[in-house]
Amino acid sequence: MDIKSTSQSAVIRPEDENLGVGANIAYGFQHVLTMYGGIIAVPLIVGQAAGLTPAEIGLLIAASLFIGGLATLLQTIGVPFFGCQLPLVQGVSFASVATVVAIVTTGGGLPSVFGAVIAASALGFLITPIFSQIIKFFPPLVTGTVITTIGLTLMPVAARWAMGGNSKLPTFGSMTNIGLAGFTLAMVLLLSKLGNAAISRLSILLAMVIGTFAAWALGLVDFSGVTTGSIFAFPTPFHFGMPTFEIAAIISMFIVVLVILVETSADILAVGDIIETDIDSKRLGNGLRADMIASMVAPIFGSFTQSAFAQNVGLVAVTGVKSRFVVAYAGIILVVLGLMPIMGRVIATVPTAVLGGAGIVLFGTVAASGIRTLAQVSYTNNMNLIIVATSIGFGMLPIAAPAFYDQFPDWFATIFHSGISSAAIMAIALNLLFNHLKVGNSDQQSVFVAGTEDRSVHPTVLMDLTDGDYFSEGKLFDVDHKEVPVVVVEKQSAH
């Protein structure tokens, strides 16, 4: 009986561990706090661009929380053909913001946006089998590059959060905000070092709670707005009108969907690598289909395209909590927040600077996880070093210079304005070019290759050495510590 139990436990996937209701709620709440600022940012930006009232923007936010929770449950729990059963939090994709705002401001309005999202997501759903078959083109060389880039591209987000979030406010970048972020970061590190295993895993959540109360003591948090507004509200289907379908808007949104498919593929592979579980084409396809079906349903309730949240991949890495049931509870919490606006208002009191302090650890951990994956790659006598260098550099371009692609065609800018997509596309393309299509590769491909070769010594040099010889400060000594003169052979010039 014991042997059978041991055999069964040996095949349990890391993500299938169930920590119990209490731990699931605590760790799940930590996930919600981590991504809350990101999930409400899109409806806030779109609502303002569409000229909606604060109450209507609140409906967009509630719908985004509600759909994000349902999408998270589908992705983590899974049903046949849908859901990769990994600890991935789903929410409104920030990749769609520019396109959505463009559609809204050019006269299409929200109905045109919702119609474009439904149609483009349906097209994305149809092509998911293609994306699910590219798993063999994602070796550690590619996944490590993408994971590293995910972490690096998120660092500007952490910096803006630490500065206060809203650049239009006079307090943006103030020492008060940065000091609060620094205090939260210090709490994360202190709790990680001094706490027991449970406290260490909850260090992000506890640090944000401590940081929020510290901000309240300084008069930087106002809880009075928590009781303003309704306690319970169900998102009304088609509240903003029936969707309309315009070809131009659908094409623009389909480009966004392609970007989301690339990013979600990268996130699925990244979290699989972090928790050390196998990801095959079937799981990848199930995850992408869940993404697309959630994106098709989202506009019915007033939300937009859905995708995995990279910052929560970082939380999985930094806490070591691999259970998908933890994230499923985060999905339940998101659904409750979508149905109970008062709970959303409670979480909204967490200062952005506090999120910034936690984000430095979270996003840095993602980059570090990518570096760890890249350490598995061989760089001897191949072009892998230049593949990594070029891909990460390419992914950093829109981060270092956000206006870099402003003069490019809209479809091109939409794809490559995402550093994650840029790095993923470049890494896949270069890996195919140099490691799969080897025709034309020379033995000495690049100066970068020379830098990765192992050192070698000519046999004639070894013949002149005896036991005990050693080098020190550029000089050769024998076993008795006497310097051995080096004969310099002058080359004869050819006549």
DSSP states of 258-292: HHHHHHHHHHHHHHHHHHT----HHHHHHHHHHHH
Number of H helices, E strands in the chain: 20, 4
At 450, which amino acid appears?
A
CA distances from 419 to 234, 308, 400, 409 (A): 36, 16, 10, 17
Tell me what pLDDT residue 178 has: 94
CA nearest to 325, candidates 56, 61, 72, 43: 72
Tell me what pLDDT residue 298 has: 94
Tell me what pLDDT residue 448 has: 53
What is the DSSP-derived secondary structure letter of residue 108?
I
Tell me what pLDDT residue 105 has: 75
Tell me what pLDDT residue 255 has: 75
d(CA 86, CA 273): 11
With vertex at residue 269, the alpha carbon angle to CA 363 and CA 84, rounded to the nearest 5 degrees, is 110
Walking along the chain (495 residues) 10 residues at a time, the average pLDDT comes out as: 41 84 89 78 76 76 91 93 91 78 78 93 91 74 82 84 86 92 93 76 81 89 73 84 87 80 84 87 91 95 89 81 92 90 70 86 79 85 89 92 87 76 86 79 54 56 71 74 70 45
User: Which residues, 6+ apart, have CB-to-CB distance to 225 below 8 Å?
Assistant: 345, 349
First to last CA, the chain: 88
What is the DSSP-derived secondary structure letter of residue 483?
B
Tell me what pLDDT residue 54 has: 66
Other beta carbons within 10 angstroms of residue 357's beta carbon come to 29
